[in-house]
Chain A
Amino acid sequence: MSEFFRVAWHIVRKDMTVEIRSRELLFTTLLFAVSVVLVFSFAIVREGRAPDDVAAGILWVAISFAGTLAMGRTFERERYNDTLRALLLAPADRPAVYAGKLIGLLLLLGLVEIVLVPLVGLLFSAPIFSYPIMLITLLAAGTIGFAAVGTLFAAMLVRVRSRDTLLPVLLYPITIPVMIAGVRGTAALFQATPDEPMARFWIGLLIFWDAIFLTLALWTFEPVMTE
């Protein structure tokens, strides 16, 4: 068990080392996420006012678009010198490779969200500080769900030719429940009179979804990655 986390941890550290040097992934993902927020805002805001509930939707759309981009890129790096094979050759449980990549992606998305949430709060006067713990839990649970499936699919598609278009095509329909839960839960917290029980319901659903799909991903990683 500790073997598993040790391997995952080394992969996370390696990715962080590479990333800290170039910061390419962080900056491009961040900028892309901010652009998405702005583009959607321009598209939806009318006469200087945004319709209600739009803040939550825009936030999660930005997270999912940016996340999909980042996922594709992290595995692109492993394709470059075929290092993914070297990772799969390690005498450790192969799901640990998946876990390492997932944790790296979560760290990246976490950083992106730290910028995105205040931005959305600013642009739409959303009360991001009224229920900080719940908001953080909601964001964490939603991001984990999205990233768990995305990391697996990105890994699966690493050798496929049309991987850039296939990743969103496969990922978005399956992660719709995560999006719905994330958006509705966030909207419930951002409302004029926040709906705590509703938010709690969505958080609960997300945690349940995460548990099931994370387990499924760990289980299917090895069979799906061996040719």
Chain B
Amino acid sequence: MNRLTVVDVARHYGRRKALSQISFTCDAGEIVGLLGPNGAGKSTLLNVLATLVTPSRGSVQYGDRSASEGGAEIRGVIGMLGHDLFLYPELTARENLTFFAQLYGVTGVAGTVTAALDQAGLAERADDFVSSFSRGMRQRVALERALLHGPRLILLDEPFTGLDQASTAALIARLQERQQAGCLIILATHDLDVAEGLLSRAIYLKDGRMVGTDTESGGLADRYRRAIQ
């Protein structure tokens, strides 16, 4: 999948417009930021892109496949890191990763899991229960879980929440590595400082609408303020 095309996507819940008139295109190798205040629709948009929510209107195109044809093939190229991390606290890190690797049809499960644990820097804690991990450690496992099946479209919802410096740096490094590998990364975040050096494109959302988009670098905070005002 090389290009994601979103055309006039809207999502209503009764009279509440969670999203309206969202249109943009992005290509592989980009890191796109969805920026906006709380309730702007960032999570909803990510869920629509992940095919978990059907839009009330509009279409999403993944490369040459449209979301409505849908199904397993499209989900095969998508990896998502939700705000709630999607991990089972009663299982160990290794068991979590093994389960999802098996579920997502990864070949060579054991090898992939070991590589993922190394990537997350948690090889020594692999057999500890996830419930005993700190937020940062859980985040790292959760990210690797999302990447197990080698997705080309990576969606992240507020991934920097509650992370310390080291974890943030590690996350950024991982994302940049994926970007080099040709993945398209879309992340929703509040954290403008962190996003500053990371994003290749910014999409500003307010009250469910796109109020701006740019591909500049530097001065993100100002651009954000200008767009959201």
Contacts and interface: CB of A to CB of B under 8 A. Distances in A.
Given A18-B88, A227-B54, A89 B99 contact: no
A91 B54 contact: no
B19 interface: no
Nearest to B80: A89
A92 B101 CA distance: 12
B86 A18 contact: no
Contacts, number: 77
B153 to A, nearest CB: 12
Nearest to A14: B99
B105 A85 contact: no
B90 A226 contact: no
Interface of B: 47, 50-54, 72-73, 75-76, 78, 80, 82-91, 95, 99-100, 102-105, 145, 149
A91 B72 contact: yes
A7 B105 CA distance: 8
B219 to A, nearest CB: 35
Given A91-B72, A93-B72, A226 B88 contact: no
A90 B72 CA distance: 7
A88 interface: yes
Contacts of A3: 105
A22 interface: yes
A17 B95 contact: yes
* Interface SS majority for chain A: helix
Interface stretch (A40-48, A76-84, A133-141, A163-171): A76-84
A1 interface: no
* Interface SS majority for chain B: loop
Contacts of B51: 89, 226
Contacts of B95: 14, 17
Residue in B72, B83, B91 with the greatest tally of chain A CB atoms within 10 Å: B72
A161 interface: no
A17 B54 contact: no
B114 to A, nearest CB: 19
Interface of A: 3, 6-7, 10-11, 13-14, 17-18, 21-22, 77, 80-83, 85-93, 226-227
22 contacts: A3-B105, A13-B99, A14-B95, A17-B91, A18-B91, A21-B90, A82-B86, A85-B82, A85-B86, A86-B80, A86-B100, A86-B145, A88-B52, A89-B78, A89-B80, A90-B75, A90-B103, A90-B104, A91-B76, A91-B105, A226-B51, A227-B53
B75 to A, nearest CB: 4
Nearest to A94: B72
A17 B129 CA distance: 13
A89 B47 CA distance: 10
Contacts of B145: 86
B210 to A, nearest CB: 21
Contacts of B52: 85, 88-89, 226-227
Contacts of B100: 86
Contacts of B88: 14, 18, 77, 81, 83
Given A89-B75, A89-B80, A226-B54, A22 B149 contact: no
B149 A81 contact: no
A87 B103 contact: yes
A226 B86 contact: no
A80 B89 contact: yes
A91 B100 CA distance: 11
B34 to A, nearest CB: 18
A171 to B, nearest CB: 25
- Sorted nearest first, the 8 A-B pairs with minimum C-beta distance are A91-B76, A86-B86, A82-B84, A91-B75, A227-B53, A10-B102, A91-B72, A18-B90
B87 A83 contact: yes
A58 B78 CA distance: 49
Residue in A22, A85, A91 with the greatest tally of chain B CB atoms within 10 Å: A91
